[in-house]
Amino acid sequence: LARGPVVPPTRSSEGFLREFLRELQYGQGVTLARSSPNDQYLAMARAVRHYLMADWLETARRRREHPAKMVGYLSAEYLLGRQLDNALLATDMVDIVQEALAECGISLDTMRAQEVEPGLGNGGLGRLAACFIDSLATLDVSCVGYGIRYEYGIFRQTFVDGRQVEVPDTWLSFGNPWEFPHPEREVEVNFGGHTEQYTDEDGRERTRWIPGWNVLGVPYHYMVPGYQNGVVNTLRLWSARATHAFDLQIFNSGDYAEAVRAQTFAENITKVLYPEDSTPQGRELRLQQQYFFVACSLKDYIDQTLPPDFDLKRLPDQIIFQLNDTHPVIAVPELMRLLIDDKGMEWDEAWEITQKCFAYTCHTLLPEALEVWPVELVGRLLPRHLEIIYGINERFLEQVREAFPGDELRVRRMSIVQDHPFRAVRMAHLATVAGAKVNGVAELHSQLLRDKLLPDFAQMYPDKFTNVTNGVTPRRFVRQANPALSELISEAVGPGWERDLSRLSGLESFAEDPEFREQFRQAKQANKERLRALLLVRDGVELPEGHLLDVMVKRLHEYKRQSLKLLHVVTLYESIRSGEVAAEDVTPRTVIFGAKAAPGYHMAKETIALINAVAKTINADPAVKGRLAVAFPANYNVTLAETLIPAADLSEQISLAGMEASGTGNMKFALNGALTVGTDDGANVEIRQLVGDDNFFLFGMSEPEVAALHASGYVPSQVYADNPRLKRVIDLIASGAFTDGDPGRVSAFVDDLLYNDRFMALADYQSYIDVQERIDAAYADTEAWTRSAILNVARAGFFSSDRSMHDYLDRIWGAGIRL
C-alpha cells in the first residue's frame, strides 16, 4: 500500500459520504450536527479533492517519465471562477455527491453558494487564461500555469447612492480548500542594489548583480482537471514572504518593530490585484509583482522541474513560455540573466535560446494600454535587467539599421527604449523582438496589430506575426452554466460534444424542428427563472417576466460604449413618455448591465452612476411599467456570468470598431443561444461570418470607416445638432431628468459626449437605434427568433478554447508537445 500508486476513494455515494464525514470530523473538527455550512463546504471540497488526487499525482509522474515539451503559461491574472462545480463535473461526481449530501440533509446548491470565487483577474485576459489551462488539461497537453496568489483579488463592487464603492475582496478569509501551499519549495527573489564587473577564473569579463534586498516566493498549487479524462495539470501561484535572514538580522539587533515592518513590506508584493484593466499606471509595486512571479517561475522551472544537470542549450526543446500580454515580459531579461550571469553562457548563445523560449500574445489596440516602464524605475529595481535590456536593444537597433539604412526615424520608432515623453522601456517592443511568435486574439485584431500597432515590426519580421482567435471553455460556460441546454444538446447530437464542440453543428437541422424549438425556448425560460430567483436574493431586484432580456456585461470602458447602450435605453423611455409610441406597441424589454470601473477611472464611474440613475427613474415610472426595465446588479463576476449569460436573449457587443481586441463574452452568449447585436469588431466579425448575417444584428461603422471619419475630423456636437431624436435624448439627460433635476451630476458625461466622444458613440447612434428597432420586430416572431438562436449555438463551436489551443499548438508552440 505504501509503495503502490495512490488509490482513489470509492466512487459511490457511500464512498463519498465516508470521505466527507472524515474531513468534517477529523479535518474541520466538528460533528455533522454542529457543523456550519462553511464547515460542510470545506469538508466536501476536500472530499472532492481526494478523487482528483490520484490523477494529479499520476499525471505528474507521467510527465516526469516521458518528458515532452511543456507550455509555461505566464499570466499575472487567472480569473478562475468557482472551483467546486468544475471539479464535480470533471470527475463526473455530481449525482454521487448530491445523493451523499442528501443523506446528511445538505443541499448541493447551498454548498455551491458557500464558495467565494477566486477573482484573481480583472476581466477578459484573466478569464482567457483560466479557459486556456482548462483546455490544455482536457487535451492532455503538458502545461503549468504560473501566476500570482493575490491575497485580495478584484474588488467587490457595491453601490452607494448609485455610485461605485469598492470593498476589498477577502476571498481567503473562510479558508481555501483548493490550494496546496509548498513552503519547502520557496524561492528567493532579489531586487535593487547595483551591478559590478569582475574577471572569473577563466579570465573572462563578467557582470554580477549585488542585490539590495530580497523576498521569498512560496508556491501554492491548484489542481487543473481535464474534463473526465484522468488528467490533472497544475496551476502554480506565488505568494511573497519575508526572507528569514532578512528579518532575523534586524530582530537580533533588538528592533522587533522594524523586523515586522520588513516582513509587511515583503508581503505587500502579492497583497492586491491592480484593478486597472486598460490604462496601466507605472506603479512601482506593479513592476515588483511582475518581476516577482516571473523570477519565481523561471527559477522553479529550471531548478525544480528540469532534471538535474540538464543542458540548457536544449531549453527550447523542453519549454515554451507563453507571455499573456506584456505583464510577464520582464521574464525575457531574467532568462538572459540566468543564462549569462548564473550559468556562464555567452550573450549570443543565450539570446538564441531566449528567442526560442518565448511567444507573446497581445490583447489590445489602445496605444495608452501598452505598458512602458520608466528607465529610472527599472534601473533602481532591476539594475542588471536594465543593462540587459539595453544590450538587447543595441543589437536589435543595429539590425534595424542594417535592414533599413539611413532610416533613423524608423530606428527611433522601433527602439525598445523610448526617449519621449519620458525615458522608458516599451514592453511590447521587447516582447516582439524576443518572442518567436507574436499573436493577436482575433482575425481583425491580428491584422490591425500588423498594420497599425506594430507595422515596423511586421515589416521586419513578417513570419513572426500570426493570429489565434480566442475561445472559451464549453465545460464551464455551457455544460456547467446551462444544464437545460446541455441536456438538449446531448439528446440531439449525442454525448461528447463538451470535448469536441464542432459537433454542435449537428444542431443545424434541429433548428427546423418545431418541437425542438419549443424545448429550446423552455430551456431558455428555465434559465430566465433561475436568474430571476438569483437576482431576487442576491440584489433584491425583481425581474419582470416575459421580456426580451437584453444584456451588456463587461468591464466599464469608454471604448466598449456602455454610454451608447444607455442612449438607447433613454431613447426607448423617451419615445414612450413623449407619446411618440404607445406603450402597448413596444416589445417588452429588460436591459441588464454588469460592469466594474477601475477605481481611478473617473468617466467610467460617472457612467455607472448615470446608469443607476436612469434605472431608478425608469423602474419607478408607471408609464413604462411592464414594457421597459433596467437592472444593474452590482459586482458582476464569473459566478454571476454563469447564471446571466444562459438567460440572455440579446448579447450587446457594441464597441467602436477597431477597439475591442476580441471579446470573449460575445462567444459565451452565442454558445448559449443569445443573438448578438454588434459592431464589426474583434471576434464579432468571426461570429457573424459563422452564424450568418440573418442571425446577427450588425450595425455601426466598420474600422476603415472609423479611420476615415477620424481623418476627416469628427464633430460630435454636429451629429447631435443634426439628429432631432438624439438631441431630445441628450437634452433629457442633460436636464437632470434622471438626477433629481440636478444637471450638475450629468454634465461631465454629457459634455464628453458632445465635445469629445473619443469612441464615436454619437456617430453610431442612429445605426444602433435602427438595428434595435429591427430587433424588436424580430423578437416578436418567436419561431424565427428561436431558429436563429439555435443556429447561433450550432455554428459557434469554433469558439471553444480547445480549438484555440490547437491553433496555438499548430502556429506557435511547435513540435514536441505531446497530443
Residues forming the site for ligand 26Q (CB under 6 A): 122-125, 128, 274, 276-278, 280, 286, 327, 363, 371, 441, 470, 660-664, 682
Q: How far is the CB of 266 from ligand 26Q (least distance, A)?
A: 20
- Pairing status of strand 424-426 against strand 372-374: antiparallel
Question: Which is nearer to ligand 26Q, 327 or 337 (by Cβ)?
Answer: 327
Annotated catalytic residue: which of 46, 236, 363, 547? Answer: 363
Catalytic (active site) residue 664: yes
Catalytic (active site) residue 555: yes
Catalytic (active site) residue 668: yes
| DSSP per-residue letters across 325-368 | SSTTTTHHHHHHHIIIIIT---HHHHHHHHHHHEEEE-----GG
Q: How far is the CB of 9 from ligand 26Q (least distance, A)?
A: 38
State the residue for C-alpha cell 522594524: 258
**Strand, helix or coil for residue 21:** helix
Annotated catalytic residue: which of 554, 565, 568, 596? Answer: 554
d(CA 763, CA 169): 39
Question: Which is nearer to ligand 26Q, 286 or 517 (by Cβ)?
Answer: 286
Task: Identify the helix (H) or strand (E) that includes residue 651.
Answer: strand 650-653
Question: Which is nearer to ligand 26Q, 343 or 602 (by Cβ)?
Answer: 602
Single-letter amino acid code for the residue at 788: S
Q: Nearest CA to 55 among 183, 176, 234? A: 234
Q: How far is the CB of 551 from ligand 26Q (least distance, A)?
A: 17
Question: Which is nearer to ligand 26Q, 479 or 554 (by Cβ)?
Answer: 554
Question: If you compute the radius of gyration of the chain from its CA atoms, what whole number of angstroms results?
Answer: 27
Question: Which is nearer to ligand 26Q, 441 or 753 (by Cβ)?
Answer: 441
Please answer whether residues 241 and 267 qualify as being in contact, where contact means their C-beta atoms are separated by less than 8 angstroms. Answer: yes
Output b/e per residue, 652-668; b: 16+ Cβ within 10 A: bbbbbbbbbbbbbbbbb
Q: How far is the CB of 278 from ligand 26Q (least distance, A)?
A: 5
Q: How far is the CB of 245 from ligand 26Q (least distance, A)?
A: 31
Q: How far is the CB of 51 from ligand 26Q (least distance, A)?
A: 32
Please give the grid coordinates belonging to residue 117.
470565487
Annotated catalytic residue: which of 668, 688, 745, 787? Answer: 668
Annotated catalytic residue: which of 82, 384, 547, 555? Answer: 555
Catalytic (active site) residue 66: no
Inter-CA distances, 32 with 26, 106, 174, 364, 692, Å? 11, 10, 18, 51, 55
Q: How far is the CB of 152 from ligand 26Q (least distance, A)?
A: 15
**Strand, helix or coil for residue 545:** coil
Annotated catalytic residue: which of 241, 327, 560, 803? Answer: 560
Catalytic (active site) residue 560: yes
Question: Which is nearer to ligand 26Q, 468 or 548 (by Cβ)?
Answer: 468
Q: How far is the CB of 572 from ligand 26Q (least distance, A)?
A: 28
Q: How far is the CB of 286 from ligand 26Q (least distance, A)?
A: 5
Beta bridge partners of 319: 70
Q: Nearest CA to 258 among 279, 237, 242? A: 242
**Strand, helix or coil for residue 9:** coil
Please answer whether residues 769 and 570 qualify as being in contact, where contact means their C-beta atoms are separated by less than 8 angstroms. Answer: no
State the residue for C-alpha cell 437592472: 631
Single-letter amino acid code for the residue at 12: S
Annotated catalytic residue: which of 91, 326, 664, 679? Answer: 664
CB atoms within 10 A of CB 344: 12
- CA angle (533, 536, 541) in 5-degree steps: 135
Longest dimension (CA), the chain: 90
d(CA 362, CA 435): 11
Question: Which is nearer to ligand 26Q, 124 or 673 (by Cβ)?
Answer: 124
Question: Which is nearer to ligand 26Q, 327 or 547 (by Cβ)?
Answer: 327
Q: Name the phi and psi angles at 628, rounded to 5.
A: -145, 130
Question: Which is nearer to ligand 26Q, 50 or 327 (by Cβ)?
Answer: 327
Q: Could you give the residue numbers annotated as active site?
A: 363, 554-555, 560, 664, 668
